[in-house]
Every structure is written in C-alpha cells, then in structure tokens.
Amino acid sequence: MEPITFILNPAAGKGKAERVWARAMECLERVGQPYVLVRTSGRGEASVMASRATTSKVVAVGGDGTIQEVANGIIGTEKTMGIVPAGSGNDLIKSLGIGRSIDAAVDIILAAEERSIDVGGVRCSAEQDDDVSTNHQVGRYFVNGVGVGFDAAVAARTQEIPWLTGPLLYLAAVFQTLGKYQAPEFRVRMDGQAFDSQNLLFAVGNGRCAGGGFYLTPEALVDDGLLDVCSIRAASVRRILTLMPKAMSGNHGQAHEVNFFRTRSLHLSSPTPFYVHADGEVVGRSVRSVAVSIVPKVLRVLVPGGGIGAGSQRTGAPQ
C-alpha cells in the first residue's frame, strides 16, 4: 500500500486543523494506510512541500488557501491532490461534492477516484497601464476563485478578525468594511469586449461559492474551461445589505446591479488602487491592473464516487 503525503496547515480554520487531523489520522490508522505528515509554518510552504513530495497522492489538510498552495506545487506533475477540509470557508469542496465530514473525506482519498479540473491564473500589477493580459506567464494559480474590489477588501479584513470562522467571519468583515469602501471606475476587457464600469466588485469563479457561503457564481463549473464572472455595480450600503442574503442562496442574479459573464480571460484596470484576493488569500492591496485567465483541466483531484458533485450540471444560464 503506497503512502500518502498529508500537508497540514496548523493555522487553518483559526486553529481547528489539528483537531481535524487527529480524526483523519484515526481513520487512516484504522485501515492500516501508511502516510507521511508534514506541517507548514508559514505562507508558501505548502507549495514547496507538495512539489517535493515523493508520493503520487498529496492531500491538503486546511482551507482554500492551503488547497491553492498544494495545487501550485503539483500542477504540471503526475501527482493527484486530495482534500481534508479544515478551513474557515471551505468553499471549493462545495463544487467538488466533498462534504465537511472528515471520515467521508478520508474515504474519498482512499477510494482514489480522480478527475482533472480547471485552475485559473492571476497576475497583478501596481501600474494601471501595465498590460498584464499580454504576459502569458501566470503569477499565481488559483483553484476556486478570484475577487476584485469590495470582496477582496473584505478578505483582507477577515485576516484581522481572530475570533470567528465561516460565514460569520465574512459577515463581520463585510459590516466593518461597508461605508468605508469607494467603488473604483474600472476598464473591463474580456474575450474581445471592452467597456468602462464603476463596480463594487468582480467575483471570478472557477467554483460556485466564495466567502464561506456566498454563491456569487452559482452556475460555475470546475471543469468547463470557462470562468464565471459576477459583477456588481456600485450601490448604497442599504442596497448591498439587501443583496447579501440573496447572494448566500445564489438568487442575486435578478438584481439590476448584478451581471453575469462567462469568459476565458478577464482584464481589469483602474486609476484607483484596489484589492485582489485569490481563494480567499489577499494577493494585492494596491493593484491598478489585474489579468485572470483559465487553464483547463491541469489539476488532478480526488473526488467522490461518480465524479464531481452537485455543481457538475448547470440549472440555467446566468444572464
């Protein structure tokens, strides 16, 4: 029986990852599965550890940020990624059909049914006129999604709130950011189109969910070769508060401030600096130009029997 490498981020989920691992270890030892455990101690280490792993399966024990780092370490190799969810948001698993049960997550890893999924590439610049979209190098791969503007500013705020996790953490950060945030005027380019728009945010989804429970791109698929983009135009605080419950159920699409697009690439620039996050991790705080693109089916992931779960079929096309 080949060993499996587990990469544990002890800081994930505000410290709950160690408890999650203790249960996962019990499951592994019960069936006699050999494993290698490595713990990270800082940002970026999971990518290095994943790239150096000598086993064919490399499992991220953490949240979406840990998953992103492990993915960045194995893309372009023959390794396959597994997931034991232990983060604050755990958004990607909602698109893969992986539940929060630790026992079930371990069973999925042991069953070894894999699928190839898309990832995205994101590159940021502090210069508005820097056409990062023409630079075919990828600054960073992401797996679940990128946020530009308000939701990225909220992601930055979540890192400063130590006592909450999940949707409550995101909601607290939203309320602390509301009223202070000024929506920039963006120049938007995607798949041959170009237009200007003052936007609260752009949510770029490979997966359906972000922020620990907000279905901003509810029809996104992780294996269709496209990015789903939800753009929300500038709105009052009161209006934003009205939209939030709808976004948690994916029913915000009828609001006049909301537009959906599907694209293979997106370029945003603004004279006003803005925030960018990738998989909930802030990758830019004073960005003036960002390019996002899709990289089809380059990441092997262990998924439940029968393939990728609930997000694998669209129920309707966003308008």
* Chain Cα centroid distance, residue 110: 24
Q: What is the DSSP string of 179-208?
A: TT--PPEEEEEETTEEEEEEEEEEEEESSS
Which domains are delineated in the chain? 4-113 (3.40.50.10330), 119-296 (2.60.200.40)
Separation CA 217–CA 261 (nearest Å): 10
Do residues 303 and 97 touch, judged by C-beta distance below 8 A? yes
| Residue-wise pLDDT tens digits, 269-304 | 999 999 999 998 999 999 999 999 999 999 999 999
Separation of alpha carbons 14 and 20, rounded Å: 12
pLDDT value, residue 314: 55
For the residues 41-53, what does the mean pLDDT come to?
Answer: 96
Q: pTM for the whole thing?
A: 0.90
What is the arithmetic mean of pLDDT over 51-80? 97
Q: Higher model confidence: residue 79 or residue 319?
A: 79
pLDDT in tens, 169-222: 878 888 999 888 999 999 999 988 999 999 999 999 999 999 888 999 999 999
Percent of the chain residues past pLDDT 90, beyond the cut:
79
**pLDDT on residue 136:** 47
pLDDT band at 309 (very low <50, low <70, confident <90, very high): low
**Residue 102 and residue 105: Cα distance in Å, rounded?**
5
Mean pLDDT of 35-54: 97
pLDDT digit string, tens, across residues 117-175 = 999 999 999 987 766 655 544 589 999 999 999 999 998 998 888 888 777 887 888 89
- Residue 311 pLDDT class (50, 70, 90 cuts): very low
Query: What is the distance between the alpha carbons of residues 181 and 211, in angstroms, rounded to a whole number?
Result: 18
Q: What is the mean pLDDT of the chain?
A: 91
Share of the chain above pLDDT 70, in %: 93
| H-state helical runs in the chain | 17-30, 45-52, 64-74, 92-96, 102-111, 150-158, 166-177, 237-248
138-158 b/e (C-beta count within 10 Å ≥ 16 → b): bbbbbbbbbbbbbbbbbbbbb
Predicted confidence at residue 14, as pLDDT, reads: 80
Per DSSP, the residues of 229-282 read: EEEEE---HHHHHHHHHHHHTT--TTSTTEEEEEESEEEEEEEEEEEEEETTEE
The pLDDT of residue 171: 83
